[in-house]
């Protein structure tokens, strides 16, 4: 389905941390507002102690950057907060003019590598920090959680059912989009279908069954209304003693005579593994071998995996709050750091130091690459180089661990592909966001390039993100200059 023109008519320009405004005012006052700066977004750890993250949220970031403008109300609010007239004049005439690069949505990404890079006037590059992080952190988190759940289901469909438990309406709407990228087949969130084309799915609640004089009456009424798409919720009273038998009777009375086959039953409580096996036997004996069993109720990848190992006869799963909130690991800690400025026409690298070694940043204007084995198609490693470097994949390339440099490997018979695309050039949007279906398919294909060892839930293999020799040397130079080595 094509994306609708429906959207939220909101100007989110002021969705910034207040310090971005105070710093912007300070940059302007100190003559540094137009100094060219380079910022990277990256993250340090994978949620759920997993092996990878899925990039998502790029389209919403683009929408935000395309519509940056300060309203009269914004200006008056900032005036009331004491900002100078020079700064207010600057904002009134604001025009976004940065270059922006990002890893495309659906791509597996890993700790330490740049996933968004912004180059432009210091005021602007700093100002957009919050929304860069907000868009990418949230949707990448949910897409990743969804993909873990999808993989646990071993080919069985996963439906995102979490709207009512999401942390706010934006989280429900954009979470459904991210879950679809991660591999879910659809969502209960209707507006996400209207806005993005994420298939809206759903049948009935327990209140439907309770409203009628009997469970059978409720099932028959629903079946008459939706005979071609009839899935009945069977656990309102007693799944095996009444729910499944009444569903079978309703199928016979109302679905078959209209020339259709029943679509399914849904179990939303109890020992679903046990109940699904018993229900499967009852459906088969009634001649409904093609009737599917749907399970829901506080599921996640671990519960689904265990249910299937225990022989659950479930064909698809509806997953709610543990998906839409990624409750087991509810944040992706992406950060946005200054990595270089331009001075006297040259790029001057910047580094953030810390007593916590993991918080030391990698300086310079950079380019991330992914190396793929030509024979297997599998990803070998990612490589971060200076932006001006080109990886010649016609020649062997020596990779080394940037922390333990004696650990080395020579890549041969490989293809090197740049990971980033350019979204904006001098503030003009030059990228064409792919259709959501294309992103979803691309995501599935890219996950397949990862080794099973990287994909496993417990103790996944550490996928390597290496630095080029030139970039590593530059980082060591800055560390030495600041007395860290």
Model pLDDT for residues 303-352, shown as the tens digit of each residue: 999 999 999 999 999 999 999 999 999 999 999 999 999 999 999 999 99
Mean pLDDT to the nearest integer, 420-444: 98
- The one-character DSSP state at 188 is S
Question: Rounded to whole angstroms, how far apart are CA atoms 38 and 29?
Answer: 20
* pLDDT at site 9: 67
Mean pLDDT to the nearest integer, 79-95: 96
Describe the strand order of the beta sheet including 414-418 as a list of residue ranges. 414-418, 366-373, 379-386, 465-467
pLDDT digits (tens, 9 = 90+) for 236-247: 999 999 999 999
Give the CATH fold of the 202-312 domain. Answer: TIM Barrel (3.20.20)
* pLDDT at site 482: 86
Question: Rounded to whole angstroms, how far apart are CA atoms 304 and 151?
Answer: 10
Question: Rounded to whole angstroms, how far apart are CA atoms 247 and 291?
Answer: 11
Dmax (CA) for the chain in angstroms is 83
Q: For the chain, give every residue range classified as CATH 3.20.20.70.
A: 202-312
Is the pLDDT reported for residue 388 higher than 70? yes
Question: Model's pTM, two decimal places?
Answer: 0.96
How many CB atoms lie under 10 A from the CB of residue 279?
25
Residue of 169, 115, 113 whose CA lies nearest to 140: 115
**Could you give the 3-state DSSP secondary structure of residue 82?**
coil
Q: For the chain, give every residue range classified as CATH 3.20.140.10.
A: 18-142+330-480
Question: Rounded to whole angstroms, how far apart are CA atoms 78 and 80?
Answer: 5
> What phi and psi, each to the nearest 5 degrees, are found at residue 390?
-125, 130
Cβ-proximal residues to 359 (8 Å cutoff; 6+ apart), any chain: 44, 352
Is the pLDDT reported for residue 80 higher than 50? yes
Which pLDDT band, with edges at 50, 70 and 90, does 200 fall under?
Answer: very high
Is the pLDDT reported for residue 8 higher than 80? no
Angle in degrees, CA 402, 479, 123, rounded to 5 = 100
CATH superfamily, region 18-142+330-480: nicotinate phosphoribosyltransferase (3.20.140.10)
Question: Rounded to whole angstroms, how far apart are CA atoms 176 and 332?
Answer: 17
Is the pLDDT reported for residue 257 higher than 90? yes
* pLDDT at site 226: 97
Cβ-proximal residues to 468 (8 Å cutoff; 6+ apart), any chain: 383, 384, 385, 386, 389
Cβ-proximal residues to 69 (8 Å cutoff; 6+ apart), any chain: 11, 13, 94
Is the pLDDT reported for residue 47 higher than 60? yes
* pLDDT at site 10: 83
Question: Rounded to whole angstroms, how far apart are CA atoms 136 and 170?
Answer: 14
Mean pLDDT over all residues of the chain?
A: 96
Which pLDDT band, with edges at 50, 70 and 90, does 267 fall under?
Answer: very high
Is the pLDDT reported for residue 473 higher than 90? yes
Which pLDDT band, with edges at 50, 70 and 90, does 356 fall under?
Answer: confident
pLDDT digits (tens, 9 = 90+) for 131-177: 999 999 999 999 999 999 999 999 999 999 999 999 999 999 999 99
Q: Which two tokens stand for residue 341?
A: 């400025």
* pLDDT at site 1: 47
Mean pLDDT to the nearest integer, 39-44: 98
* pLDDT at site 213: 98
Q: How far is CA 459 from CA 95, 434, 454, 463, 478, in A?
A: 47, 34, 9, 12, 34
Q: For residue 86, count CB atoms less than 10 angstroms from its CB and return exposed for 0-12, middle for 13-18, buried for 19 or more.
A: exposed
């Amino acid at each position: 389905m094509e994306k609708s023109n429906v959207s939220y008519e909101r100007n989110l320009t002021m969705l910034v941390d207040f310090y971005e405004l105070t710093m912007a005012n300070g940059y302007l006052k100190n003559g540094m507002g137009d100094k060219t700066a380079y910022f990277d977004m990256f993250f340090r750890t994978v949620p759920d102690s997993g092996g990878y993250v899925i990039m998502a949220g790029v389209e919403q970031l683009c929408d935000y950057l395309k519509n940056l403008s300060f309203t009269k109300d914004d200006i008056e609010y900032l005036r009331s907060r004491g900002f100078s007239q020079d700064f207010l004049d600057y904002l009134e005439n604001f025009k976004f003019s940065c270059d922006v690069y990002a890893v495309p949505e659906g791509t597996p990404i890993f700790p330490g590598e740049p996933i968004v890079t912004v180059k432009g006037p210091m005021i602007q590059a700093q100002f957009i920090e919050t929304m860069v992080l907000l868009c990418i952190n949230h949707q990448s988190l949910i897409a990743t959680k969804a993909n873990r759940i999808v993989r646990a289901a071993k080919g069985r469909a996963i439906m995102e059912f979490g709207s009512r438990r999401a942390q706010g309406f934006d989280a429900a709407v954009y979470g459904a989009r991210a879950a679809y990228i991660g591999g879910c087949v659809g969502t209960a969130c209707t507006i996400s279908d209207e806005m993005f084309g994420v298939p809206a799915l759903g049948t009935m609640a327990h209140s439907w069954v309770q409203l009628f004089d009997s469970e059978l009456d409720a099932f028959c009424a629903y079946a008459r209304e939706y005979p071609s798409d009839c899935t009945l919720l069977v656990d309102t009273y007693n799944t095996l003693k009444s729910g499944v038998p009444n569903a079978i009777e309703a199928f016979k009375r109302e679905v078959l005579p209209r020339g259709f086959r029943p679509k399914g039953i849904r179990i939303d409580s109890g020992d679903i593994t046990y109940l699904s096996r018993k229900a499967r036997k009852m459906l088969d004996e009634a001649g409904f071998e093609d009737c599917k069993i749907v399970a829901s109720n506080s599921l996640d990848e671990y519960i689904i995996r265990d249910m299937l190992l225990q022989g659950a006869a479930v064909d698809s799963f509806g997953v709610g709050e543990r998906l839409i909130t990624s409750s087991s690991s509810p944040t992706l800690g992406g950060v946005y750091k200054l990595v270089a400025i331009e001075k006297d026409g040259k790029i001057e690298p910047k580094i953030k130091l810390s007593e916590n070694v993991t918080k030391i940043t990698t300086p310079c204007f950079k380019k991330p690459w992914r190396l793929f084995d030509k024979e297997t198609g599998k990803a070998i490693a990612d490589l971060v180089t200076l932006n001006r470097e080109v990886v010649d994949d016609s020649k062997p390339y020596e990779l080394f661990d940037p922390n333990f440099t004696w650990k080395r490997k020579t890549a041969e018979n490989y293809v090197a592909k740049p990971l980033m695309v350019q979204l904006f050039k001098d503030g003009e949007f030059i990228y064409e966001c792919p259709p959501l279906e294309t992103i979803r398919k691309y995501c599935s294909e890219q996950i397949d390039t990862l080794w099973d060892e990287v994909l496993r839930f417990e103790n996944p293999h550490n996928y390597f993100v290496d630095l080029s020799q030139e970039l590593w040397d530059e980082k060591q130079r800055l560390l030495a200059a600041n007395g860290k080595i």
